[in-house]
């Protein structure tokens, strides 16, 4: 369970308790990724504001030396393996999960991953390598928690995220596929100035919730962590997603959202 999505686990437990039927969850995630990683190229290219993700990537690989890139990948994987070995020595106390995730004795996570054809950060990369493998399966809906990696283009996110949802609905041939998502949380950005980008991206997420049918947005700002971009308290987020599913997907007449202006 430690390596599974805690939000998805809590969501499934709450939904199971409410509906008294088994809830299956397929975990399909990769951290620190843009929404552009999770959609096909044709959907990224739909609009000039979102096509920039493809243009930037193509500019990088146009002049890329293939041999040097392969060497960079090998070097990165060696650094990641060395970090993982150091991390294994960090004691894990279930009574203080926060201390485990905040422990920096293994050093910083090796970053960034070299950008190129093998990078999970490339546009359409995770859609082609992960999402497409799931498309034959029948699914009831999607819960999605992402956005931090697109705060550098917070206004364009309205179109990027909307196109991604449309892409998945088209892929599953289900125009009403329920899409429940989490608004990005609060964060101190390690003391650096953030400007308005995070706030604008939250507003873009709200815009999608208001304008794309069969979606629902869960607020998480009250459970953020000033020092950790991945807030540790996942339980309320999973609980709120379960409430949204019960109302939006299963039609229960329950209070599942705070007031929307």
Of 13, 9, 15, the closest CA to residue 244 belongs to 15
**Each residue's pLDDT tens digit in the chain (261 positions)?**
778 999 999 999 999 999 999 999 999 999 999 999 999 999 999 999 999 999 999 999 999 999 999 999 999 999 999 999 999 998 888 888 778 877 889 998 898 999 999 999 999 999 999 999 999 899 999 999 999 999 999 999 999 999 999 999 999 999 999 999 999 999 887 777 777 999 999 999 999 999 999 999 999 999 998 888 888 899 999 999 999 999 999 999 999 998 888
Estimate to the nearest angstrom the gap between the alpha carbon of 228 and the chain centroid. Answer: 16
pLDDT at 180: 98
* Alpha carbon distance, N-terminus to C-terminus of the chain: 38
Written as one string, the DSSP assignment of 90-127 is S---GGGHHHHHH--TT-PPP-PPPPSTT-TTSTTHHH
d(CA 128, CA 231): 29
pLDDT at site 76: 96
Instruction: State how far the Cα of 88 lies from the Cα of 73, in Å rounded to an integer.
Output: 23
Question: In Å, what is the CA distance from 75 to each residue of 33, 78, 80, 108, 125?
Answer: 21, 5, 9, 16, 21
Q: Give 64-82 pLDDT, tens digit per residue.
A: 999 999 999 999 999 999 9
pTM for the full predicted model: 0.93
- Residue 16's pLDDT is 98
Tell me the per-residue pLDDT of 221-259, one tens digit each, with 9 for 90 and over: 999 988 888 888 999 999 999 999 999 999 999 999 988
Cβ atoms of 229 and 185 within 8 Å: the answer is no
pLDDT at 178: 98
How far apart are the C-alpha atoms of 168 and 142, rounded to whole Å?
A: 10
Q: Which pLDDT score is estimated for 104?
A: 84
pLDDT at 249: 97
Helical ranges in the chain per DSSP H: 6-19, 41-44, 48-62, 66-87, 97-102, 125-129, 157-171, 197-211, 235-244
């Amino acid at each position: 369970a430690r390596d599974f999505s805690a939000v998805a686990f809590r969501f499934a437990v709450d939904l199971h308790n409410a509906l008294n039927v088994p809830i299956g969850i397929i975990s399909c995630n990769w951290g620190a990724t843009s929404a552009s990683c999770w959609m096909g190229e044709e959907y990224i290219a739909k609009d000039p504001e979102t096509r920039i993700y493809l243009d930037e990537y193509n500019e990088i690989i146009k002049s890329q030396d293939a041999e040097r890139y392969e060497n960079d990948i090998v070097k990165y994987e060696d650094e990641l393996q060395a970090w993982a070995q150091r991390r294994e020595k960090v004691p894990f106390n279930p009574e203080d999960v926060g201390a485990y995730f905040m422990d920096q004795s293994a050093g910083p996570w090796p970053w960034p991953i070299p950008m190129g054809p093998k990078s999970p950060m490339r546009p359409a990369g995770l859609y082609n390598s992960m999402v497409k493998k799931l498309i034959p399966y029948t699914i009831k809906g999607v819960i999605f928690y992402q956005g931090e990696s697109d705060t550098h283009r917070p206004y364009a996110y309205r179109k990027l995220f909307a196109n991604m949802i449309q892409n998945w609905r088209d892929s599953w041939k289900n125009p009403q596929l329920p899409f429940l998502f989490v608004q990005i949380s609060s964060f101190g950005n390690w003391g650096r100035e953030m400007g308005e980008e995070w706030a604008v991206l939250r507003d873009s997420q709200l815009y999608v919730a208001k304008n794309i049918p069969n979606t629902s947005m869960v607020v998480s700002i009250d459970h953020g962590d000033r020092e950790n971009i991945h807030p540790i308290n996942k339980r309320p987020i999973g609980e709120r997603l379960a409430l949204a599913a019960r109302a939006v997907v299963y039609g229960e007449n329950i209070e599942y959202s705070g007031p929307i202006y």
